[in-house]
Every structure is written in C-alpha cells, then in structure tokens.
Structure 1
Amino acid sequence: MMTGQRLRVLAIAEAANPEWVSVPLVGWSLANALREVADVHIVTQVRNRDAFLRAGLREGVDFTAIESEALARPLWALGQKLRMGEGKGWTTLQLINALSYPWFEHLVWKAFGADITAGQYDIVHRITPLSPTLSSPIAAKCARAGVPFVLGPLNGGVPWPEGFDRERRREREWLSYLRSAYKALPGRRATLTHASAILVGSRHTLGEMPEAMRGKCVYLPENAIDPARFSHAPAPGTGPLRAGFVGRLVPYKGPDMLIEAAAPLLRAGTLRLDLVGDGPMMGDLRAQAEALGVSEAITFHGWLPHKDVQNVLAACHLFAFPSIREFGGGVVLEAMALGVPPLIVDYAGPGELVQAGRGYKVPIGPRERIISGFRTALAFLAEDRTALAETGQTARAWVAQNFTWDRKAEQVLDVYQAVLSGAPLPVFFERPTPASCAPWAQGEVPT
C-alpha cells in the first residue's frame, strides 16, 4: 500500500442485507459505510444478491455473491425445525451456522485466495457472522499470505440471568447450557491467533477472550444508526406519560413485565404504552392487559417496517425496555437517536450503552425485583418531564457523535491503519462506570 492511497479491503459479510434487521442489517450497514472510507469489495451470500442490486451496488465490481445454498439451505431448514418456533432457539441456530459457515469461507477463498495472496488487498475483514463461536478458516491463510485479517465485531452468548430459567426454556435455549463448550472447538484458537485485530462488541465478549489475545482486542459495539432512518425530532406532546417498547414479543424481551409494572399508572390515566412488535406472546399480552383492566391504555401496533418505527418512538417521552438478555441493544441506540431516553435493565449491551445523563437503569435481578424497579421508575419519571427531555437530548447528541455508521466506518479505518502501521490499537470508549444513574437503582424509592 502506498501512502495517501485508499486502503483496499475485502469485506466478508455472509449475512448482510439492507432490507432486513438484526445481524444482516449490521453486516450491510458496516460494510456499506466502509465503502466511503476505503476501496471495499463486499463478499456476501447469494440470498442477499437482489437486495444489494436494489441498493445500487454493482455485482462483480462492488460485491460478489457466493453461492453456498447447496449446503446452507438444507441446514437452515433443519435449524428451523430444531428451533420449534420463529425467533426462538438462537443457540441452536448458531450450531447449525457452525456446520455451514466453513463451506462459505472455503468458497470465498476459492474465489479470492489468489488475489489475496498476490497482494491485491491490504486488509481482509470478516464482519459477519457476529457470533464469537464461529471460527474463520481464512484467518490462517491470510496470515500465511502476509495480509492482515481483522475479525469482528463479535458479540453474543450473554449468560441468562439467575431466576429466568422459565423464560430460557420458553425460548428453546436448551443448548445455551452447553454454550461455553465452543471455546474448545477446533479452529477457534487458530482464528484468534492469526487475527491482527479483533473487534469485540461487548465487555462480556472481551471477557471471554483468552488472556493472551486481549491485547489485540478493540471494544467497539456493533450497532449504530442511519440518521436518514432515525431523523425525527422528539414530539411527545402533553398529556399522560407516553412510553414505547419495540421488539419481538418473546419472553426474554420482557413485554409482560412492562405491562405488569405499568398497570397502576395505566389504570390511573397517568401513563400510556405503545408496543411495537409481534411474536408468540401477542395473544397472552392482550389477555394480560384485559385481565389487569388496562387494555384501553395500551396500543398494540404489531409489526412495523423498520423505517416506520421512528414514527411511533418519536411521539414517546420514554423508551421502556425491560429485556433481560440483549447482546448489543441496537433498538436502545435508535430510541436515543430520536431523543427518547431509555429505561432499561442494567445488564449486557443496553447496560453498557446507557450511562449517567443519557438514560435510566434498573438493576438486574429476579423478575419481581425488575417489575418493582420499573414501576417505581415510571412513577418517578412521570412527574419530571423536563428531566426526561434533557436526558433525551444528551442521549441524542452522544449517539450522533459516536454511533452513526459513518462514524463507525471511521473508527474501523483507524483500526486498519493501526494494524498496517504497527501503531497501538485505538481506544474509542470509556469503561462503563459501576455507579447507577438513577435514584432508584440501589433499591431506593424516590420521595
């Protein structure tokens, strides 16, 4: 690479799709943002081909779609059967991915190995899969070719908190009891050893890295926002406190805990809830609202296109999200980007993003303790709209400064440049403080 030239990057993003959400949207958003700061060729799975073309990318120039369906499709179908429910059994899905993904990378090397070996790329970066359980056969091959290999962002596998075994079973997460066995899988150590830099999306993932590898790790949460998708100014209006929830209606997201916590305020007319999302709990949640006498104070919006979510959130004073097991917490960032302060459970991804001055946290604990904490917090926040608005504006400014995809691309470029120059890897974020950022966080009820 000559000084002053844009870096040539081969970005491997097996899951990358601008029309989907979750991991595929992260894969697409980061890979596409990197095109603004480097000469990037994206390698993805063929299922994403049409969406890439609709987004204006040129096949063979901007991206290559790898046809791995001969193995991926039957394994995916098997995974869907084993999961026994849409959106459930995440650990089972990762096991299926562990069987099919090496074949994808084999085909990637078959298509690009000669160019990598010939020095046609300055960096090879595997963006997805995000799971740290999946090894990368290409890492060692890049090392032998003398081309730096960047891995990540990696995230996932947050332990289920104590007291939620019932929710764990309802999510079909039986394999999660054995998840730590992935550390002994063939290829994991080699992948980490041959990576020049490892992007970790959470403190938990960093903690799972072998001690010898942590010097090459960079803490960089995987989520960010597209300002074009989340551009509305907050406009909650007057009247009762309006709180929004966005997510799949599944046990670990806690929508039933939110309804139970909010019930006294909903009955009193001092709170309204907007629930965006769909899932297997929809019928139970409607029945719960009916039984508690709060149906008239809850709007069940159902599933909405991602681009339309901001229309609901921007009209809320607060984003109330009692999820107990979020790896990254992208939806929390989206609320903050709209100037809507989050109220979350202080655990995993959301707990790292929400710090003093830009949101509110309830300590992780048993179900009843979380419900009590949310109930107290909602009652307290309903009385201080000025503080809510100020917290929302602080959160919005923080996201705009640190968590747009353009900013994320600049951060990753800093990692590339450090790897190529031999400079120390950059540090982007302060370590989260252990102190809580709400007066009820240690069990104190505000008076």
Structure 2
Amino acid sequence: MAQRSDLTDNTNSRTTVLLMAYECSPAGGSELSVGWNRVMQAAREFEVHVITSPKSFEALTMARQSGLLPDHVHFYTPQPDWLLPLLQKLPVLFVYNYLAYQHFQRLAFNLAQQLHGQHGFAAVHQVNGTGFREPGYTWKMDIPFIWGPTGGTQNFPAAFLSYLPWREALKESLRTIVNQISLRFKPRVHQAAARASVVFAANSTNQRDFEESFGRPIELLLETGLPRLAAATSMSKYDGETPLRILWVGELATRKALPLLLRALASVKDELAFELQVLGKGPQEQSWKELAASLGIERHCTFSGHLALADAIAQQDWAHVFVFTSLRDTSGNVMLEALGAGVPVVCFDHQGAGDIVTSECGVKIAVVDPETAVHDFAAVLMELAGDRKRLRQLSHGARRRAIGYEWTANGDRMNRLYRELAAGEAEACAVPAEVGGILA
C-alpha cells in the first residue's frame, strides 16, 4: 500500500513517465527545487507519476490544493514498514541517513513496480537525491532507465584540509575515502550505470570520474536551473564612488570557506571601501562573526541570517559582486541566481563553479592553497573595484550566461530524451554489466 494523490488515472494520449524524486517541493531550494522543477518540466509534455518522500508528499499535496500542480501529475509515497522508523533514528552521514534512505529506495522500487503494472511507463528517471552513492533500484525495471544528473564525486581539496578544525578535516578525509570506495567498488552504483540508457553528470568533475570508473560515455547536464528570467532592470550599478557591495550566500559550514573571503577583505581593508552581506545560517555562524571582529572588519560585514528564497534572490539587486568561496559543491545554485541578476561572480576554478562561470561573466581563481586563495580573492576584488568598465561588461555577460541555464532549456533536453526513449529511437548506450569488474 502507498499514499497517493487523489486523481483519476490517465485518460489522454500523453506518454507516461515515472520520476523518482525523493525531495520535491515548490517551497524550497537545493534538492527540493531540483525535484519540483524536473517534475514541472516533464509535465509540459508528459503524464507524470512521481514517487517521493513522505515530507515531499505533503508539500505536493499543498501544491495541488493551491493550484500549482497540473492534474496530469500524480504523486505517491510508499507506506513505511516496521524497519524504516528504526533506521531513521540512526545518525545522519554526510547528507542523508544512508541506511534509512537505502531502505526507502527499496520500498519505492516495490511501489514503482506496482505502478508500472497499472500504467505502463515509457521510462523511469532517478532524479534525486543527486549524490551518486545511492542510485535506487528502478534500474532493474524492464523499461529505459535514466540516472541523473548526479554528482557527489567532487572532494574537498587536500591542500585546504589544514585550514579546517581537525574534526572537520577528519570528516572531509573520511568522505573522500568513502567516495573512492563507493565509486570503484559499490555493486549497485556500477549496475545502475551499466543498465542506464543515459547517465547524466552534474559537472565535469563528476563526468570525468564516472567515465573513468564506469567505462562508458557520460552526458553533462547541470542538475539545477533558473526560472525564466525577467527583463533586466538595473545592472552595472557600481559607480566607483560608493563602497563595493559584495554578496556571499550559503550554509555557514566549513566546506563553504567564508573565512577565505573575510581574510582577503581584511588584507585590503585600508585600500578598498567595501560592504559585505552574508546570507545563510549554519554551525559556523558565531565563530565567523567573531573572526570578522578579530580581523577588524565587523563594521563592514552584515550577517543577515536565513532569508526566504524570494527575499534572498532579491538581495542580488543590492550587490555589485557575488563571491562563491565553496571548496566542495556539485554546482552552486546561488551563482546562477547572481548571474540572472547581472551580478558578476568570483569563485574557485573547480567543480560546478568552474563549469558555470566563464571569463564573460566572472573571474575564477586557481585552487592552490589557503594563502594563495586569500591573496587572489583580494587581488581580484581590488581589480574589479578599480575597473568600472570591466565590471559593467561582466554584468552584461552574466545575464547572457544565465539565459542558457533557464529550466526550460534544461527541460527541453530531458523531454527530448523521454520522447526518444518512448519511441525506441534513443541509441542503446548501456554497457555490459561486467563494467569495472562488478557483476550484476
């Protein structure tokens, strides 16, 4: 048995697809937003059935009641058995409690098979969680299987581990080890990759890692996107007279590495007039506020806490420059939001950030070591503050770059794949199950 949306079955001629979207809600960012937008893009052309978590089931129920969800989107969540509540009491590892999450995927697979018997899906798509370590089980079904875009192979740069508290450094080191073991030796990861009609990687680091491990072509597609952009309003706001307004957005957690920016700004505080606004909450909030005070820049820094998504996006209109210091991220949706507002981005040249930002819309710095990073962030900000023409060019380039990341473009590519698979036109690109020495 399972909870399901209160809808009649499909009576039209739309092709029917199944999306496995563990997190899916119109009222959140990150994975929740990925699930929701993937569903809404598919619903432009297809009859969509969605299996999701109990929490997201509630969010989709509210979306249905509010008129946000089309009638041809059907959603379900499996009824928990006696084991799932026990597993859910275990501690979280990295992002999810993986034992509980894996067991949920088993229950979801059983439900998917039941629904396939009733509706005859043309394809099944494992949408999220986007981490590669848990591919679910729907690759076992006798229909085309799409996996991703998925990520998670990117690791914290080893040269920066000494910059972390020892517990955080240990955690990142263990995560790197788990990643390597899972990528090379976890049977279901290799079985899912071998069975998939198409595997999408969320960034070029993931693409490289998957191709090396799975021995097959991997498509590149960012897992997230932007809503359709409104016409540009005020861009290139910096006049060279007022302080340079710098925006930083993210979880206040060690991997986001805000102290690199704080130290960079402290090193030029007598030469550069600036204002820094920090949006987000997290375990490092108090210590990072104290760091700003100890560096003598607290009066230039505003920690605004967590804002609603719409309010956080609105803050982009305040900024002259967006700085993304994260040392480990699949993509970085906040960078897309900055680009959409015409705000140039300064970031590290690696992982998703390295893919998204080009010389047209921002400045990337090399991943070398903490001291070099502090120096380079400071130098770039000084340079931009002294070159209004370049800042203006980057601002216009940011808008141009953002258009390519609208959800409609992302959805068009995935919907084309659904159509090809449904018509039996997609090239069979699954490789033998023995890939990587892992047997099905």
TM-score, structure 2 as length reference: 0.84
For 2:408, the aligned partner's letter is D
Query: 1:323 is matched with which residue?
Result: 326
Partner Cα distance (2:295, 2:406) in 1: 40
Which of residues 56, 61, 78 in structure 2 aligns to 1:66? 78
- Following superposition, the deviation at residue 232 of structure 1 comes to 6.7
Cα separation, partners in 2 of 1:59 and 1:227, compared to 1, 3 Å:
closer
For 1:106, the aligned partner's letter is R
Partner Cα distance (2:268, 2:221) in 1: 38
Cα separation, partners in 2 of 1:257 and 1:211, compared to 1, 3 Å:
closer
Q: Which secondary structure state, in structure 2, belongs to the residue aligned with residue 344 of structure 1?
A: strand
Query: 2:145 is matched with which residue?
Result: 149
Query: 2:198 is matched with which residue?
Result: 197
Query: 2:222 is matched with which residue?
Result: 221
Cα separation, partners in 2 of 1:67 and 1:228, compared to 1, 3 Å:
farther
For 1:191, the aligned partner's letter is A
Instruction: Determine if contact 2:247/2:276 at 8 Å carries over to the other structure.
Output: yes
Query: 2:356 is matched with which residue?
Result: 353
313-322 vs 165-174, which moves further: 165-174
371-380 vs 20-29, which moves further: 20-29
Cα separation, partners in 2 of 1:206 and 1:336, compared to 1, 3 Å:
same
Whether 2:42 is the aligned partner of 1:34: answer: yes
Report percent identity of matched pairs: 24
> Aligned residues, how many?
406
Cα separation, partners in 2 of 1:332 and 1:74, compared to 1, 3 Å:
farther
Instruction: Determine if contact 2:112/2:138 at 8 Å carries over to the other structure.
Output: no
Which of residues 21, 34, 53 in structure 2 aligns to 1:13? 21
Partner Cα distance (2:279, 2:398) in 1: 21
Whether 2:436 is the aligned partner of 1:411: answer: no
- Following superposition, the deviation at residue 59 of structure 1 comes to 9.2
Instruction: Determine if contact 1:260/1:371 at 8 Å carries over to the other structure.
Output: yes
Q: Which secondary structure state, in structure 2, belongs to the residue aligned with residue 187 of structure 1?
A: helix
166-175 vs 198-207, which moves further: 166-175
376-385 vs 17-26, which moves further: 17-26
Alignment deviations for residues 364-389 of structure 1 (CA, whole Å, 9 cap, x no partner): 01100000000110110001123212
Query: 2:158 is matched with which residue?
Result: 162
Cα separation, partners in 2 of 1:417 and 1:233, compared to 1, 3 Å:
farther
Structure 2 gaps of 5+ residues are: 1-11, 430-440
Say what the alpha-carbon RMSD is for the aligned residues: 2.8
Whether 2:186 is the aligned partner of 1:185: answer: yes
Partner Cα distance (1:197, 1:265) in 2: 49
Which of residues 290, 294, 298 in structure 1 aligns to 2:297? 294
- Following superposition, the deviation at residue 418 of structure 1 comes to 3.7
Cα separation, partners in 2 of 1:173 and 1:269, compared to 1, 3 Å:
closer
Partner Cα distance (2:379, 2:101) in 1: 46
Instruction: Determine if contact 1:319/1:342 at 8 Å carries over to the other structure.
Output: yes
Query: 2:4 is matched with which residue?
Result: none
Structure 1 gaps of 5+ residues are: 81-88, 427-447
Higher relative contact order (CA 8 A, sep 6+): 2
Instruction: Determine if contact 2:109/2:137 at 8 Å carries over to the other structure.
Output: no
Cα separation, partners in 2 of 1:276 and 1:119, compared to 1, 3 Å:
closer
Partner Cα distance (1:163, 1:212) in 2: 24
Instruction: Determine if contact 2:21/2:35 at 8 Å carries over to the other structure.
Output: yes
Query: 2:210 is matched with which residue?
Result: 209
Partner Cα distance (1:69, 1:261) in 2: 52
Partner Cα distance (2:81, 2:60) in 1: 17
Cα separation, partners in 2 of 1:112 and 1:163, compared to 1, 3 Å:
closer
Query: 1:443 is matched with which residue?
Result: none
For 2:412, the aligned partner's letter is E
Query: 2:243 is matched with which residue?
Result: 240
For 2:174, the aligned partner's letter is L
Cα separation, partners in 2 of 1:36 and 1:387, compared to 1, 3 Å:
same
Partner Cα distance (2:375, 2:329) in 1: 20
Cα separation, partners in 2 of 1:49 and 1:137, compared to 1, 3 Å:
closer
Instruction: Determine if contact 1:236/1:242 at 8 Å carries over to the other structure.
Output: no
Cα separation, partners in 2 of 1:132 and 1:61, compared to 1, 3 Å:
closer
Partner Cα distance (1:215, 1:5) in 2: 35
Partner Cα distance (1:76, 1:43) in 2: 19
- Following superposition, the deviation at residue 425 of structure 1 comes to 9.2
